[in-house]
């Protein structure tokens, strides 16, 4: 018979799998408690980092309908359950792994499919949502400025043409003196 604390742990992990926009599975062997605290702070509010037993995680993933991660649940396993932007969490994990060789990213899960380490690194290389929105807004503003200049150009050309015509008439001989009969 299953122990109530294990059943509760499986239910909690399964809920995290269901509510997360992405998950990243890591191996943390060799990290101290202080370093794990640093990692949790680096993830901030974008992800919850949870150390769990592989058997419990396997059951929870199965309950949540997460498939394709079974081979990642070997050895000491910790999972980052991403609640915000996957880009921010992937960057935090990648950067922390660069500084601390003991942290190894094994893989992940997003949009109903497993992710490889390379795919997680590609996600980490993306710009954040805010940066992409700012770039899009800048591109829209540039196009609107170009359109405004394009619409203003004919009126400006007519004004320059009228000024040039007036200058030409003034410079013609006899333009200022009335014609004699």
pLDDT of amino acid 145: 83
Max Cα separation, the chain? 126
Q: How far is it, in rounded angstroms, from Cα 68 to Cα 114? A: 6
Show me where the domains of the chain are located: 4-126, 128-173
pLDDT of amino acid 1: 46
4-126 carries CATH number 3.30.830.10: no
Phi and psi at residue 17, to the nearest 5°? -60, -45
Which of 34, 43, 31, 51 lies closest to 104, judged by CA? 31
Q: 10-residue block means of pLDDT along the chain (181 residues)?
A: 80 90 89 89 87 89 86 88 87 89 90 88 81 83 82 80 85 62 49
DSSP structure string for the chain = ---HHHHHHHHHHHHHHHH-SEEEEEE-TT--HHHHHHHHHHHGGGEEEEEE-HHHHHHHHHHHT--S-GGG-SSSEEEEEE-S-HHHHHHHHHHHHHH-TT-EEEEEEETTEEE-HHHHHHHHHSPPHHHHHHHHHHHHHHHHHHHHHHHHHHHHHHHHHHHHHHHHHHHSTTSSSPPP-
Bridge partners, residue 108, by sequence: 24, 115
pLDDT of amino acid 175: 55
């Amino acid at each position: 018979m299953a122990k109530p604390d294990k059943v509760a742990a499986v239910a909690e992990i399964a809920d995290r799998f269901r509510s997360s926009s992405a998950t990243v599975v890591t191996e943390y062997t060799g990290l101290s408690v202080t370093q794990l605290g640093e990692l949790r702070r680096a993830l901030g509010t974008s992800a919850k980092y949870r150390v769990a037993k592989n058997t419990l995680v396997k059951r929870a993933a199965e309950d949540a309908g997460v498939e394709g991660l079974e081979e990642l649940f070997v050895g000491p396993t910790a999972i980052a359950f991403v609640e915000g932007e996957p880009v921010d969490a992937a960057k935090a994990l990648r950067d922390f792994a660069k500084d601390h060789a003991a942290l190894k990213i094994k893989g992940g899960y997003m949009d109903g499919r497993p992710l490889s380490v390379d795919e997680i690194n590609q996600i980490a290389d993306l710009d954040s949502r805010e940066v992409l929105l700012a770039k899009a807004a800048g591109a829209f503003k540039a196009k609107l400025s170009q359109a405004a200049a394009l619409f203003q150009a004919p009126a400006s050309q007519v004004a320059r043409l009228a000024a040039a015509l007036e200058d030409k008439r003034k410079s013609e001989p006899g333009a200022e003196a009335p014609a004699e009969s």
